[in-house]
Structure formats: C-alpha cells, structure tokens
Amino acid sequence: MSGLPFRRPIVPAPQDALLLIDVQNDFAPGGSLPVPDGDAIVPLLNRIARGFATVILTQDWHPPRHLSFAAAHPGGAPFASVELPYGRQVLWPDHCVQGTHGAALIAALDVPHAALVLRKGCRRTVDSYSAFAEADGTPTGLAGYLRERGVARVFVAGLATDFCVRASAVDAAGAGFATAVIADACRGIDADGSLAAAWTAMTAAGVARLIAADLHPAA
C-alpha cells in the first residue's frame, strides 16, 4: 500500500482517512504546553475534514503525575530528558491531564462526523506520541481499525509537527499505509532544530509532504 501515489490534485476517496492529531487546549496559546499558533490551523482543519468520509481525532490523555511530566521527577525540569525503561523521555510541563479543560479538544474544532476519538498516553508509566503505538511499542489498535475500514491512504494534520504528527506519520507509513502530512495544517514546536529533523525523518520513512491546496476541492 505504501507505494500508492499522491498525484495532485488529490480527491479524497472512500479508502482515505484523515488523522487529526491532538488539537487540544493545552497545545493552543494559553495552554500549559503551547505550540506557536496552534489554534490558527483549526479553520483549515474544519474545511479539510469535510472532504473525508473517515476522520479520526486523537487526544493526549494523561493521568495526574504522568511519568512524562517534569513534576513527577524530583528535581526534574521541563524539556530536560531522562532515561526510562522504554528509552529516552523528554520531560514536559503537566499537560492534557484526563478530564481537564486543557485536555479537551479546542472548541472551534468542528468535525461532527469524526468516526473515532483515540486517547493516548493513558498509562502513567508510558508516554505515547504516536497514534499507532505507545513509546514502549504497545499498539493502540489504530492500524487494525483502519484496515478493517478498508483504508489505504492516511493524511495527517494537527499538533505538533515535530512530535506527535511526526511519530504518527512515520508509524502509519511503517504499518503499510500510503501516508501524507498536510504541512500547512500543522504547527511545530521547533526546539533545537526538531522541526527540520522531523521532516527529514518523515521523508526517509516515505511520508509525502502536501499542502491543503493539493486537495480537491481546494481546502
């Protein structure tokens, strides 16, 4: 499946799915882990989503004192890193705590036909950037869900380009789906070159880079 082309203009088809990553209050300006202009993409996401029959939303959904939080580590500082059983972990400010306003989807996101809301990072001791697998490799089940629905191509947008979008796109391609990221429908953190590194990694994984105008009708 990964060899399916993305010839412009692209008309979303029944075998296509749109994956909207972590469009949540804590990643918007004023949130505890804001992505610059994170809320600015919402009107574009709403327009793009109307062209897809299958839309999946994800949410970071952490229990209090999640192990990815700096506050869970004595002396831990946000954006430092520690070694955990599954590998290196960036320590984040507390964010997207289950049931809080910060974890809620941004209110202006208007995708009533979304078929699934997938919550990730729910286990206190394991983080999850990707919609497809937790940091220790445990599958979320999304790949199976998409296959059961006959999906062949996955289009990814949302927050943040260099973390959860990157991980989800790379894993989608690795699972055999033809995968594209809609670049202008994402925003990144860009910490120490992380945005450029993310695009390099996605390109190496076979992920296509699109803009919303590549979709027809143009978003």
Q: Is residue 86 part of a domain?
A: no
Confidence of residue 191 (pLDDT cuts 50, 70, 90): confident
**Is 3 inside a domain boundary?**
no
Task: Flag whether 89 is in a domain.
Answer: no
**Average of pLDDT values for 18-47?**
98
Q: Where are the beta strands (DSSP E) in the chain?
A: 16-21, 54-60, 81-84, 87-90, 116-120, 153-159, 178-187, 208-210
If one counts the domains in the chain, the total is 1
Question: Is position 114 within any domain?
Answer: yes
Is the pLDDT at 2 greater than 50, yes or no? no
Q: Is residue 67 part of a domain?
A: no
If you average pLDDT over residues 196-209, what whole number do you get? 97
Q: Tell me, yes or no, whether 1 lies in a domain.
A: no
Average pLDDT, the chain: 95
- Inter-axis angle of helices 166-174 and 194-204, nearest 10: 10
> Where is pLDDT greater, at 125 or 216?
125
Percentage of residues in the chain with pLDDT exceeding 90?
93
Is position 52 within any domain? yes
Residue type, 54: T
Which value, in Å, is the radius of gyration of the alpha carbons in the chain?
Answer: 16
For 123, the domain range is 16-62+96-214
Give residue 199's pLDDT.
98
pLDDT value at residue 1: 38
Question: 55-111: per-residue pLDDT in tens?
Answer: 999 999 999 999 999 999 999 999 999 999 999 999 999 999 999 999 999 999 999
3-state SS assignment for residue 81: strand
CA–CA distances in Å: residue 5 to residues 39, 105, 150, 154:
30, 32, 17, 12
Mean pLDDT within 107-131 = 97
Catalytic residue ranges: 22, 120, 164
In a domain, 177, yes or no: yes
pLDDT value of position 218: 58
CATH of the domain at 170: 3.40.50.850
pLDDT over 80 at 5, yes or no: no
Q: Read off the tokens for 76.
A: 């831990």
Please tell me the distance from the alpha carbon of residue 209 to that of residue 155, in angstroms, as a whole number. 10
Asked whether the predicted pLDDT for residue 3 surpasses 90, the reply is no
